[in-house]
Amino acid sequence: MEASSLPAALELVAGGGAGLSPEKRAVLGSSLLLLQRDYRFERVWFWGRIQGVRGAYYIAEGLGPDRAKPRSRLYSLNCVEWSLLPPATAEMVAQTEQLRGRFQGDPSFEYESTEINEEYGERLLEDAKEPTIKEEIRLIATIEQIDREAGIIPRGAFVKTPLGSVHENRNFEGLSLTEAKKLSSYFHFTEPVNLKNKTLLEKADLDPSIDFLDSLEHDIPQGSWTVQLEKGGTVVVLRSLLWLGLTFYHVPMTKQYGYRYFGTGEKNFDLPFMI
């Protein structure tokens, strides 16, 4: 959700019970605009908050003209001072995938060897290094996983040019209420996987300029999303059951949409047994 529309957007996703205090909203509204100016981002999104035991990480994402390019991610412990996170890598995700439990809220906190992936720990021992991982690395990997598995946009909100760049669709006026209640009307805003496996016959009815991403209808496990109408049926809200705390909203027939995450940064691995 954009910095300029933060107060209204937070009200639309407040049904989950999580949110920000009036003081935090006021501070964020100012600091995110300064962030956009200082880093020369075209847009700044408030991504959400990961709550730790001793503190919380407030996350923002900076975007350039091409939305397909990796986003710059920043975190803050007080909503005023922001630190730029390095880009996420496959190695970071692999290093942290075995970590369980709550975040501490301290970027310099180190997880001990018993909590680390065995293969990665052995590699560190061979290099004569103590097998530890800083929480900042886990934070980077977690944000990347959540964006990849639960970061979504409405169909038609972005267009892909023949040159491969992705831009906001100026002609997008929102989904109809009927379409907004369908999982097939929402796409993962990340590199497609299922789309590449479709046959030419299945792709025949797709518009390559807007249907260039994977839709939610084929997510595994089935039932990992809930679709609800709120605010008297005027807002469609999607919630992820895989990453509890991820909420997406869209006001049909308008350009208002976005998602935010307010949670502990823990993946719900028990979901297949709960459905």
Per-residue pLDDT tens listing for the chain (275 residues):
566 677 777 777 776 666 788 888 889 888 999 999 999 998 898 999 999 999 999 999 998 888 878 889 999 999 999 999 999 999 999 888 888 899 999 999 998 755 555 555 556 555 555 668 899 999 999 999 999 999 999 999 999 888 888 888 999 999 999 999 999 999 998 888 776 666 666 666 777 788 888 889 888 888 899 999 988 889 999 999 999 999 999 999 999 999 999 999 999 988 888 76
Strands 257-263 and 43-51: parallel
Half-sphere exposure of 159 (CA within 13 A, CB side): 9
Q: Can you read off the two tokens belonging to residue 24? A: 């935090």
Look at the alpha carbons of 97, 99, 101, 103 in this order and tell me if their dihedral is positive or negative.
Answer: negative
**116 lies in some domain:** no
Helix (H, G, I), strand (E, B) or coil at 201: helix
**252 lies in some domain:** yes
- C-alpha R_g of the chain: 19
Distance CA 78, CA 23 (A): 11
Q: What is the pLDDT of residue 193?
A: 78
Q: What is the pLDDT of residue 115?
A: 54
Q: What is the pLDDT of residue 32?
A: 92
**100 lies in some domain:** no
CB burial readout 46-68, b (16+ within 10 A) else e: bbbbbbbeeebbbbbbbbeeebb
**102 lies in some domain:** no
**129 lies in some domain:** no
Q: What is the pLDDT of residue 2?
A: 65
Q: Can you read off the two tokens belonging to residue 34? A: 């300064």
If one counts the domains in the chain, the total is 1
**113 lies in some domain:** no
Distance CA 50, CA 275 (A): 25
**132 lies in some domain:** no
Distance CA 28, CA 10 (A): 12
Residues ≥6 apart with Cβ < 8 Å to 107: 75, 83, 134, 135, 136, 139
**99 lies in some domain:** no
Look at the alpha carbons of 22, 28, 34, 40 in this order and tell me if their dihedral is positive or negative.
Answer: negative
| Domain of residue 265, residue span | 3-93+140-270
CA angle 243, 249, 250 (to 5 degrees): 145
Q: What is the pLDDT of residue 67?
A: 82
Distance CA 44, CA 261 (A): 15
